Amino acid sequence: MSPETAKSQETKTKLLEGALRTLTEQGIARTSARTVAAAAGVNQALVFYHFGSVDELLAAACRYGAEKAVGRYRERLAAVGSLSELLAVGREIHEHERAGGHVALLGQLLAGAPAHPAVGPATAAGLQLWITEIEQVLRRVLAATPLGEFADPVGLARAVAAAFVGIELYEGVDEAGAGAALDALEQLGALVGAVESLGPVAQRAVRHHLRRRGRGPRPDGPGSGP
pLDDT digits (tens, 9 = 90+) for 184-224: 877 777 776 676 666 666 666 666 666 676 644 454 544 44
pLDDT attached to residue 224: 44
In degrees, rounded to 5, the angle at the alpha carbon of residue 129 between the alpha carbons of residues 166 and 12 is 105
In degrees, rounded to 5, the angle at the alpha carbon of residue 33 between the alpha carbons of residues 32 and 39 is 90
pLDDT digits (tens, 9 = 90+) for 117-148: 888 899 889 889 999 999 999 998 888 776 66
pLDDT attached to residue 131: 93
Around 223, how many Cα atoms within 13 Å sit in the side-chain half-sphere?
15
Which stretches of 143-152 are DSSP H helices?
A: none
**Alpha-carbon distance 2 to 7, whole Å?**
9
Q: Which residues contact 89 (CB under 8 A, 6 or more apart)?
A: 73, 76, 77, 80
**Alpha-carbon distance 63 to 215, whole Å?**
37
- How many CB atoms sit inside 10 A of residue 213's CB? 9
